[in-house]
Amino acid sequence: MSRKIAIMGAMPEEVEPIVSKLDNLNIVEYAANKYYEGSYNGQDVLVAYSKIGKVFATLTATILIEKFKCDTLLFSGVAGAISPELKVGDLIIAEGLCQHDLDITAFGHPYGYVPEGDVCVAADEHLREVAKQVASQKGLRLKEGIIATGDQFVADEARKNWIGETFKADALEMEGAAVAVVCSALNVPFFVLRAISDAADMDASFSFDEFLESSAKISADFILSMVDTIK
């Protein structure tokens, strides 16, 4: 049986470069959102942007799997860099994802942990291998590391450094770990790719506005090459 691949972003800019390349496009409206069904070089895909943040990302990932029966989920978008190695436009894939704003430390638990959960949810190994293969074919540098997620646009050096030190994270964003929790609970292989839009510092909002579109496209183009390799 052939795969049904979900491609998810958070913002319109993150999915537009993908939707614009689909054949047989059909838009389904469901749960206050649009789902873009189509095919890419013969592979069935379903594309959606969730809106920003963990709650919307949870809703969209769940619908892609439970209603549309997607069996693989690829997330594409932008992130703020924590690692000084990462510059605007660079790509990072998540080895694992954690929630930097999840805090019941008052009960003696570590940051990012709640009972019966994990601090860090690992992304699918095979999909990460596919990404490395695509990067080497394209001659692109691809960093693999921990991505930290929270319902917060980080524009503060101290907060960024705290997240980096606490979770050994290399980049941060606002949806990845929510998608990871949904996919791991439902046994769906998933993968999160981000291109850097800013350095999560005091200039982050300006850098984000300037580079959202170009970095989102870098990530989207890479994801489409992965679809070609997976199918």
Closest of 8, 142, 144 to residue 72, by C-alpha: 8
Q: Within 13 Å and on the Cβ side, how many CA atoms surround 131?
A: 28
Q: Is 209 an annotated catalytic residue?
A: no
Among 154, 169, 226, 227, binds ligand ADE (CB under 6 A): 154
Task: Collapse the DSSP code of 96 into the 3-class scheme (helix H, G, I; strand E, B; otherwise coil) and give the result.
Answer: strand
**Interacting span for ligand ADE (CB under 6 A) from 98-106, 115-123, 149-157, 217-225:** 149-157
CB nearer to ligand ADE: pick between 4 and 159: 159
CB 2 to ligand ADE: min, Å: 33
**Distance between CA 49 and CA 111 in Å, rounded?**
28
Closest CB 196 distance from ligand ADE, rounded Å: 8
Q: Pick the closest to residue 194 from 223, 168, 161 (CA basis).
A: 223
CB of 97 to ligand ADE, least distance (A): 13
Select the residue interacting with ligand ADE from 198, 217, 223, 227 (CB under 6 A): 198
Beta carbon nearer to ligand ADE, 170 or 198: 198
Catalytic status, residue 213: no
| Alpha carbon separation from 87 to 39, 48, 91, 157, 190 (Å, rounded) | 32, 27, 9, 15, 25
Catalytic residue among 16, 173, 175, 198: 198
Piece of 24-32, 92-100, 110-118, 195-203 that binds ligand ADE (CB under 6 A): 195-203
Scanning 94-102, 107-115, 127-135, 193-201 for contacts with ligand ADE by CB under 6 A, the matching segment is 193-201
Q: What are the beta bridge partners of residue 35?
A: 28
Q: How many CB atoms lie within 10 A of CB 198?
A: 24
* SS3 of residue 161 by DSSP: helix
- The answer to whether residues 200 and 81 touch, using CB atoms and an 8 Å cutoff, is yes
Size of the site for ligand ADE (CB under 6 A): 14
Nearer to ligand ADE, 70 or 163 (CB): 163
C-alpha 88, offset from chain centre: 16
Site for ligand ADE in 165-184 (CB under 6 A): 172-174
Tell me the residue type at 97: L
**Positions 40 through 99 that interact with ligand ADE (CB under 6 A):** 78-80
On whether the CB atoms of residues 144 and 193 are closer than 8 A, the answer is no
Q: Cite the active site residues.
A: 14, 198
Which residues are near ligand ADE by CB under 6 A? 78-80, 153-155, 172-174, 197-198, 200, 204, 208
